Structure 1
Amino acid sequence: MTTPASSPTAARVVDAVKVYGTGDTAVRALDGVSVGFPAGRFTAIMGPSGSGKSTLMHCAAGLDTLTSGSAHIGGTELGTLDDRRLTQLRRDRVGFVFQGFNLVPTLTVAENIRLPLDLAGRTGDPDWLDTLIDIVGLRDRLHHRPTELSGGQQQRVAVARAFAGRPDVVFADEPTGNLDSRSGEEVLGLLGRAVRQTARTVVMVTHDPVAAAHADEVVFLADGRLVDRMASPTADHILDRMKAFEKAQVTS
């Protein structure tokens, strides 16, 4: 259940194990997971509550460390980096979109989009930023502040910010969780357009089959293990697969 060796991966984990706690209270959130996320593709991670999907994303993105196994961004193994170099890698090669928009309220839309570049002391590529602004449809909002935007518009700013530094991979954690269905569809659509039009990579954690159906592929976790993959997913097929996993958990 790994990505074929011929397919380049933007991020991957190998034999990933994550244990929280010790002794009788230890929880094995990841149990020997090996999975690669193909470059230039949109992948969704799904699974029942407690399956380890958020833990997988956090460890793959370098936000958390594995108990054993390895995590890689491109050809870089995260476990070989000290804190300074890991922070630099996350800043320069990884983008993040969270359920909460995490915008700076005192900055304009344009300033929020540029924030990762400014923090890194980089000028960025004006043409790239211009393309992003068109993809997310915010050209007429660049001088507004977050409080002047709808929730969907704020999340669009967060998406543009995540891509601003041309990262190897953007990790999105329940990016539509705080949005109504229409705004959520708009954000998912623009994530897909960003992948297709900029050849970037998106890895999204979601519990929503409709959201996951926007991805090129869905990987499924259950009890901390990778149990299935689905190419060209549809919401109905995803829902059927999820029901099967939940039924298996009840009867096991």
Structure 2
Amino acid sequence: MNGTKERTGGARTVGLSKVYGTGDTAVRALDDVDLELVAGRFTAIMGPSGAGKSTLMHCVAGLDKPTAGRVFVGDVEIGTLSDKRLTRLRRERIGFVFQAFNLIPTLTALENITLPATLAGTRVDAAWLDTVVAAVGLRERLGHRPSELSGGQQQRVAVARALASRPQVIFADEPTGNLDSRSGEEVLMFLRTAVDELGQTVAMVTHDPVAAAYADEVVFLADGRIVDVMAAPTAAGVLDRMKNLEGTS
């Protein structure tokens, strides 16, 4: 698999701000955030409830429009794109994994993995698909429907679906939130493999210090700002930082 390793462009924000509402009721969810999601690395995003984690992810992924600042996916500034071109960029360059697996129950695992390409009227590269299927470790279950798979297997299918288009960035929003610890570990190890062996770029919002410890670095948000960055995180180290943030937020 290492022969397929390829670094694709990451994403970054410059002076990113997001304000909801106006006047006295305005809420500043993001406040002048400069963030770089380095290509070929696994970044976890953490912070207290209401820190702006999901808002940040939605703005970088083109699902929400910032109030100010710029967002780049690779070398493309997404704020300059028409709605049609932004939709195309999200489909071709961005992968999504959510807490709910969002699989189609009537489709097999393989059909779910290739669904985005089917909807776009394109073909998945056969060699790449084989690499992804090998990495996900579910080759014997590709003909099974979601109801015949465990929660961890369903979420690995969802990650494989995100990988199938060879996106520049995969955004994972609490991907282990609905899983027991063993299934969550399966998914996190697969995300780690996607980075290490497939050259993928992953950004994951999580509240779980154990999940964050799988990342290369953790970015901590509080009150819409980046307040800390931890390289080579450990679960204990992340937990300590989170306790400090929650104590001061």
What TM-score do the two structures reach when normalised by structure 2? Answer: 0.96
Structure 1 residue matching 2:207: 3-state secondary structure:
coil
State the alpha-carbon separation in 2 of the partners of residues 246 and 98 from structure 1.
25
Point out the more displaced range, 92-101 or 123-132. 123-132
- Count the aligned residue pairs: 243
Q: Does the CA contact (< 8 Å) of 1:101 and 1:155 recur in 2?
A: yes
> What residue is the counterpart of 2:58 in the other structure?
58
Alpha-carbon distance, 1:179 to partner: 0.2
2:215 is the alignment partner of 1:215: yes
State the alpha-carbon separation in 2 of the partners of residues 15 and 165 from structure 1.
30
Task: Show structure 1 runs of 4+ deviating over 2 A.
Answer: none
State the alpha-carbon separation in 1 of the partners of residues 207 and 171 from structure 2.
15
What RMSD, in angstroms, separates the aligned Cα atoms of the two structures?
1.2
2:13 is the alignment partner of 1:13: yes
1:95-153 Cα deviation digits (max 9, x unpaired): 00000000011111110000111122221211111111111111011111111111111
Identity within the alignment, %: 69
Structure 2 residue matching 1:72: 3-state secondary structure:
strand
Q: Does the CA contact (< 8 Å) of 1:9 and 1:36 recur in 2?
A: no
> What residue is the counterpart of 1:49 in the other structure?
49
State the alpha-carbon separation in 2 of the partners of residues 105 and 239 from structure 1.
37
Q: Does the CA contact (< 8 Å) of 2:9 and 2:168 recur in 1?
A: no
> What residue is the counterpart of 1:113 in the other structure?
113
Alpha-carbon distance, 1:9 to partner: 5.5
Alpha-carbon distance, 1:24 to partner: 1.2
| Structure 2 unaligned blocks of 5 or more | 1-7
Alpha-carbon distance, 1:194 to partner: 0.8
Aligned residue type for 1:20: Y
State the alpha-carbon separation in 1 of the partners of residues 116 and 201 from structure 2.
18
1:153-196 Cα deviation digits (max 9, x unpaired): 11010000000000000000000000000000110000000111
Q: Does the CA contact (< 8 Å) of 2:51 and 2:224 recur in 1?
A: yes
State the alpha-carbon separation in 1 of the partners of residues 80 and 47 from structure 2.
29
State the alpha-carbon separation in 2 of the partners of residues 84 and 74 from structure 1.
18
Structure 2 residue matching 1:228: 3-state secondary structure:
strand
